[in-house]
Amino acid sequence: MAVKYRDYYETLGVTKAASQDEIKKAFKKLARQYHPDVAKDQPDAEERFKAVNEAYEVLGDAEKRRKYDTLGPGWEQGQDFGGYSGHPGGGQYEYHFGGSTGFSDFFESMFGGRGGGDPFSAYGGGRGRRPRSSQPTAGEDIEADLLVRIEEIMHGSTREVRLARPTADGQRGKEITIRVKIPKGISGGQRIRCGGMGYPGANGGPEGDLYLRVRLERHPLYRPDGHDLDTDLVLAPWEVVLGAGVTIPTPHGDVKMTVKPGSQPGTKLRLRGKGLPNGKEGYGDLYVTLVVEFPDSVGEEEEALWKSLAEKTRFRPRG
C-alpha cells in the first residue's frame, strides 16, 4: 500500500529556509490554536493538532529534519529507512498501524521502529528470508512509537491501536484492533509490551512481541522533564516591577500565584505536586519561568508615557 508523502513545512506554515526558532514559534502558535482543550468547537482540531505535533517532531529535531530534507518527496525511491517495511519502498513484509499510534504511516515508515535482528540474515526473523533450518524459530519483535498526551498519563487510559501484521508467507495480514493500557505516570521512552503481536515465527515457532515506545505529545504549555513539568509565564513589564496576581493553568486545575514586585525575568517558581504522577499518589512539581514581553509597537499616547517614564526613572540598567 502506497504511503503518501507529508509536507511538514506546509503543515507549520513555514518555508524550508525557516530557522529552528521560527519553526518553534510556528508550532507554539498552531498548537495553542488546535489543542483539543482549547478548540472544542472545531471538529477537526484533534487531527490538526496531531499533524502539527508530528511536523514539529521532525522539523524541531535537527537530525530528523536533515534526513527529511535529504530524502524529500522521492523518499520511497531506493531508500531503506529501517522502518516498518522489510525492504525499501514498503515491500513484501509490511507492518502497518494505519495512523492509530498517533503518528501517520509516513512518519512510521521514515522514522519508525524496527525488529530486533538483521532482517536479511538467514535467521533474522519475520521481515527477512525464512530460516533455512527446519527448527522452530521465534518471530522478531517490533517496536513502534506511541504518541501519548500528558492528559492521558495523569490518570491512565486505554487506547485502541489498529495493526495489519505480515503473515508467515510475507503477505499483508488482516487488520485487527488491540486495546493498549497506558499506565498512570508512564514516562516518555518507556515501552508497553503487547505479547505475541510481533512478526510470525517459523516452523511453529512463537510469535514475536510488539513494543510500543511512549512518546509524549508536544504540549503548547508544558515541557516534561521526568515527572516534573516546565512552563513559561508571560508577563508585562509593569507586572514584574509592581507585582501581580496571576492564574496558572496546571494539569491539576488552575492555581493562583503571586508574582512579587521586582521579580526578574528568568526566575523560576515552583508549584509543588502540580507535575506528572511519580507513583500511585505522588506527583512531580511544576516549574514556572517568568518571561517578560514588550509591545511590538505603541500608539502616540503610550509612547509619551514610555518617554515620561524614561525621563523620570532612577533606574539605570548599565550602571
State how beta strands 210-216 and 142-148 pair.
parallel
- Percent of the chain scoring above 70 in pLDDT: 84
Record the pTM. 0.74
Of 181, 199, 216, at which residue does a domain stop? 216
Domain assignment of residue 1, yes or no: no
* Model confidence at 130: pLDDT above 90: no
Average pLDDT value over all residues in the chain: 83
Confidence of residue 143 (pLDDT cuts 50, 70, 90): confident
CB atoms within 10 A of CB 250: 17
> What length is written for the chain?
319
22 contacts: CB under 8 Å, gap ≥ 6 = 14
Confirm whether 289 is domain-assigned: yes
pLDDT, residue 194, reads 93
**What integer pLDDT is reported at residue 63 of this predicted model?**
92
Whether 232 and 269 map to the same domain: the answer is: yes
Looking at residue 87, its pLDDT comes to: 33
Cα separation, 18 vs 41, in Å, equals 31
Q: 189: domain CATH number?
A: 2.60.260.20
In this structure, the answer to whether residues 100 and 135 fall within a common structural domain is: yes
Is 27 domain-assigned? yes
221-238: pLDDT as tens digits = 899 998 999 999 999 999
The pLDDT of residue 125: 37
Q: Rounded CA gap, 196 and 189, in Å?
A: 21
- Residue 192's pLDDT is 95
Residues 147 and 80 in one domain: yes
Residue 313 pLDDT class (50, 70, 90 cuts):
very high
Q: In this structure, are 145 and 236 located in the same domain?
A: no
Q: Cα(13)–Cα(16) distance, rounded to whole angstroms?
A: 10
Three cell numbers at 300? Answer: 502616540
Number of domains in the chain: 2
**142 and 174 in a common domain:** yes
What is the residue range of 29's domain? Answer: 8-216
Other residues' Cβ atoms within 10 Å of the Cβ of residue 247: 8
Please state the rounded mean pLDDT for residues 157-165.
Answer: 88
Same domain, 85 and 193: yes
| Same domain (yes/no): 149, 266 | no
Judge if 81 and 177 occupy the same domain: yes
Identify whether residues 14 and 127 lie together within a single domain: yes
User: What pLDDT, on the 0 to 100 scale, is given for residue 129?
Assistant: 43
**What's the pLDDT band for 112 if we cut at 50, 70, 90?**
low
Same domain for 67 and 204: yes
* Cell numbers linked to 83: 522502518
**Same domain, yes or no: 39 and 77:** yes
* DSSP-assigned letter for residue 140: P
